[in-house]
Amino acid sequence: MAKRRGPAVAALGVAVALLATGACAQSAARGPADAGHGAPTAVVRTDAGTVRGTVSGRHRSFRGIPYAGPPTGEHRWAAPRPVRPWQGVRGATRPGPLCPQVPAQYGGTTSLEEDCLVLNVTAPARSGRGRGLPVFVWIHGDGTIGGGHLFDARRLADRGLMVVTVNYRLGVFGGFAHPGLPGSGTFALQDQQAALRWVARNAAAFGGDPGNVTVAGTSFGAAAIVGHLTSPSARGLFHRAVLSSGEGMMDMLAGMMGPQVPAYRWYTWRTVRDLRDAGRDVAAGLGCAGPDPGRALRCLRALPVKRILEVPYVMNVFQAFAFGEGVLPELPEKALEEGRFHRVPVLSGATRDEHRLFVGLTWDAVNGKLTEGQYEELAVTAFGKERAAAVLAEYPVDAFPSPALAWATVVTDRMWARGTYAQHTALGRHVPTYAYEFADRRAPMYLPVPAGDFDFGAYHASDTPYVFEDEALRGRFTPAQARLADAVTDYWATFAATGRPGRRGLAPWPAFEPGSPVPHTQSLAPGAVTAVDYAAAHNLAFWRRLG
């Protein structure tokens, strides 16, 4: 079986590794520097013990607070367990360890540390009196690299929010599945829910309101939130949701992420059986095969982290969530379509040119320019010969500056925009839904990709630094982009506080109404925050006709 499944699993790993770069702000963003010995401190009592953070300027910061016990030994691939209480005052001035990870094409972080289930709190230095602060919980994207402390939340805290950023188990440690393993394929989701339960118990101690919690994420993180929206065990843990470039209702046709990458019906979701089959293959490759699942798991849990990470693509194979049991009893996409999800307001959107990042990394910016012949071959691989002819007629190569941009537009429209619009529609039928498109086509590139003449446009996750502070990019924003960053952050913060993104001083942002002729989508561009006909801009009528 390992030989039969291996190539497909490896190809999926490559595809997901590229697609999930929504967390790439991690490789470039920097959190506030640790305070020196003479810096003011802040002391807070949590339910597990007292922590000492720092006060710097307008902010209070607490870093590396454990929200669950170490997932080590027999607790590797198990539900998160409670933190062991501590005596005295625990320092919370430095980041905790990143969860196990290896460098990716778009990020160089490395860690072998499993005792990594920590979170960080950033809040205004003065919380004021009266009701607690709205709480904003950030789930970073990617699913194989990064961590919460790599996102600097001071800009959001300046808007009166208590911001929590979270580490969770990644890749094979967060999504591993195996016969006889309870919770298979959902350990990352379980970690995130454990962090939300920590917020419910402890937010008030930091000046936050546990009755007003927004959970937000980008890319893989946004897909996780779609899972939480449909997970029975997440009921009541949050009251609003922000989905940035989410993949919860997205599929992938063959070749869209590269010539050798096959099609997948659900991009983010896998059946428990499929992931358990993959886990059995990985166990065999690690020398832990056998008819007794318990013995195989004991063997796997005894392996050093480094040995597991040395298996090619092992992190990316499990960069998905399993449905069919426990945490996700049914396919989240189906649950959204049929209205079975937690009723909370949602702010949801994507970028104008989502797929340009992946085309650039696969071809023009790294491996040579995509040719017209390759563009045609990719279309045939994805759509079949007959439908490819219709696609090539609708997106003729001579209508674009290059074949690469033609292909990026095809995939942005067919895969990203189609899935995003379906998500808006499913949500908007039942809850207040505010749709957006980030459209700054000159957004600075914050990822470590080669410089060149490829036009990345408003690439995947290019809106992240417009919300999270990034000192390296701050000097590269034009005045108009700096104003856009303020507006986007104001929208997100206002939504977290009230459940609506609009307020005085901001351009109006009506809700997305699925039954209207042109449901409102807010276009966010420098000097041009206005409505856009999202379906028309991404040619969705054509894709509906094509099927």
CATH number of the domain that residue 210 is part of: 3.40.50.1820
Within-domain flag for 488 = yes
* 332 occurs within a structural domain: no
Residue 131 lies in a domain: yes
355 is catalytic: no
Residue 219 designated active-site: yes
pLDDT at 319: 94
Q: Which of 114, 247, 333, 354 is catalytic?
A: 354
| pLDDT for res 449 | 82
Tokens of 230: 């449909």
In whole angstroms, what is the distance from residue 350 CA to residue 76 CA? Answer: 34
Q: Which residues contact 18 (CB under 8 A, 6 or more apart)?
A: 105, 257, 258, 358, 361, 362
Same-domain check for residues 288 and 395: no
44 within a domain of the structure (yes/no): yes
Catalytic residue selected from 27, 61, 184, 219: 219
Domain that holds residue 401: 349-546
What are the residues whose beta carbons fall under 8 Å from the beta carbon of 72, sequence distance 6 or more?
114, 115
| Percent of the chain whose pLDDT exceeds 70 | 91
- One domain, residues 401 and 485: yes
Instruction: Give the dihedral sign, CA 441/447/451/456.
Output: negative
How confident is residue 34, by pLDDT bands cut at 50, 70 and 90? very low
**pLDDT of 15 above 70:** no
Same-domain check for residues 282 and 402: no
Residue 388 confidence (pLDDT) above 70: yes
Averaged pLDDT, 413-420: 98
Displacement of CA 449 from its chain's centroid (Å): 20
Regarding whether 118 and 205 lie in a shared domain, the answer is yes
Q: What pLDDT score does 495 carry?
A: 98
Between the alpha carbon of residue 310 and those of residues 105, 147, 307, 313, the distances in Å are: 16, 21, 5, 9
What is residue 23's predicted lDDT score, i.e. its pLDDT?
37
Residue 337 placed within a domain: no
Cβ-contact 231, 327 below 8 angstroms: yes
- What digits encode the pLDDT tens for the residues 517-530? 999 999 999 999 99
Is 319 part of a structural domain of the chain?
Answer: yes
540 lies in some domain: yes
pLDDT bucket at 107, cuts 50 / 70 / 90: low
Higher pLDDT, 41 or 481: 481
Higher pLDDT, 368 or 471: 368
Q: Does 389 share its domain with 318?
A: no
Mean of the per-residue pLDDT values of the chain: 91
Q: pLDDT of 152-183, one tens digit each? A: 999 999 999 999 999 999 999 999 999 999 99
Residues 416, 368 share a domain: yes
Of 286, 306, 323, the residue that ends a domain is: 323
Q: What is the model's pLDDT at position 121?
A: 98
Whether residues 315 and 379 share a domain: the answer is no
User: What is the rounded average pLDDT of the residues 25-54?
Assistant: 66
- At residue 474, the pLDDT reads 75
The pLDDT tens digits for 56-106 are: 989 999 999 999 999 999 999 999 999 999 999 999 999 999 999 998 766
Tell me the mean pLDDT in the region 8-23: 37
User: According to the model, what pLDDT value does residue 106 have?
Assistant: 61
Tell me, yes or no, whether 161 and 299 share the same domain. yes
Neighbours of 533 (CB within 10 A): 14
Q: Give yes or no: residues 7 and 69 share one domain.
A: yes
Answer yes or no: 460 catalytic.
yes
Determine which one of 178, 228, 424, 460 is catalytic: 460
**pLDDT tier, 475 (very low <50, low <70, confident <90, very high otherwise):** confident
Predicted confidence (pLDDT) per residue in 115-155, tens digit: 999 999 999 998 655 679 999 999 999 999 999 999 999 99
Length of the chain: 547
Q: What is the pLDDT of residue 209?
A: 97
Same domain? For 297 and 355 the reply is: no
State the total domains in the chain.
Answer: 2
- Is residue 369 domain-resident? yes
434 and 533 assigned to the same domain: yes
The candidate with the shortest Cα–Cα distance to 354, out of 139, 136, 141, is 141
Q: What is the C-alpha end-to-end distance of the chain, expressed in Å?
A: 33
**pLDDT (tens digit, 9 = 90+) per residue, 192-225?**
999 999 999 999 999 999 999 999 999 999 999 9
Q: How high is the pLDDT of residue 9? A: 36
Q: For residues 299 and 400, state if they share a domain.
A: no
